[in-house]
Chain A
Amino acid sequence: MSKAGYYFSAKAFFLFHLHVGTRLALRTFIPAVAIFFALYYVLRPELFLSLMAALLDGGFLLSGISTILLCLIMAGFAARRVCLGLDGWIRHLPAVSSIHRRMAAIAIFTAQIPLLIIMAGLAFISSKLFEVPAAPYLTGLPFVGLVCGLFVMPVKRKTLSRPLAVLAGIFLSSNNWGLFIPGIFLLLATDALSGPLIQKKKHTKFYRPFKRIFLVALINWRALRLRILIPYLLAMPFLGAAQLFIANNSPPPLIAEQMIRFGGTIGLVLFCAILANMLAARRPPWPWIRSLPWSAKSRILSDSSFISIFVLPLLIVIGAMNLNSVLPLVLSFPSFVLYSVFSIRQDAESPIGASGKVLLYGAIGALLLCIFPWSSLFFLGLTPLILKEAIKAEKHQKVSRWVELHHLAAGDSLSWSE
Chain B
Amino acid sequence: MMILYRNVSFSYGEEEKVLQSISLELGPGLTLLLGPNGSGKSTLLKLTAGVERPDSGVITINGHDMWDDEVEARKGMAYLPEHPDLTPYASIKEILDLVCRLRGESLDAGKKALEFFNLQYLAHRTVRELSLGQRRQAVFAACLIGTPSHILLDEPLDGMDRHIQKEILKWIKNHVQSRATIIVVSHTIEPFIEQASQAVTIQSGHAFLLRRLPDSLEKKRSFLEQLAEGGLPL
Binding site for B on A (CB under 8 A): 1, 5, 8-9, 11-13, 15-16, 19-20, 23-24, 81-82, 84-97, 199, 201, 203, 402, 404, 407, 413-414, 416
Contact = CB atoms under 8 A, between A and B. Distances in A.
Contact of A81 (B81, B89, B99, B131): B89
Contacts of A402: 131
Contacts of A92: 49-51, 74, 77, 79, 152
6 contacts: A19-B91, A20-B89, A23-B91, A24-B89, A94-B102, A201-B52
A7 to B, nearest CB: 12
B81 A88 contact: yes
B158 interface: no
Contacts of B87: 20, 82, 84-86, 90
Contact of B85 (A15, A20, A89, A407): A89
A405 to B, nearest CB: 10
Contact of B86 (A5, A85, A96): A85
B74 A93 contact: yes
Contacts, number: 112
Interface residues of B, number: 44
A354 B132 CA distance: 25
Given A19-B94, A94-B74, A96-B71, A88 B101 contact: no
A414 B83 CA distance: 8
Interface string B97-123: 111011000000000000000000000
B81 A89 contact: yes
A1 B68 CA distance: 10
B101 to A, nearest CB: 3
Given A16-B95, A16-B98, A85 B88 contact: yes
A84 B91 contact: no
Given A16-B98, A23-B89, A94 B52 contact: no
Nearest to A413: B83
Given A81-B88, A404-B129, A416-B128, 19 more contacts: A5-B71, A8-B101, A9-B102, A15-B97, A15-B101, A23-B91, A23-B126, A85-B85, A85-B86, A85-B88, A89-B51, A90-B86, A90-B87, A91-B49, A92-B50, A94-B73, A94-B74, A95-B70, A95-B74
Contacts of A5: 71
Given A87-B51, A89-B51, A402-B131, A94 B88 contact: no
Contacts of A201: 12, 52
B139 interface: yes
Nearest to B83: A413
A359 B53 CA distance: 48
B94 A88 contact: no
Contact of B53 (A84, A95, A199): A199
Interface string B21-43: 00000000000000000000001
Interface string B58-100: 0000000000011111110101010111111111001101110
A36 to B, nearest CB: 23
A247 B149 CA distance: 75
Contacts of A404: 128-129
A87 B49 CA distance: 12
B101 A94 contact: no
Which of A13, A20, A88, A97 has the most C-beta atoms of chain B within 10 angstroms of its own C-beta? A88
A86 to B, nearest CB: 7
A409 to B, nearest CB: 11
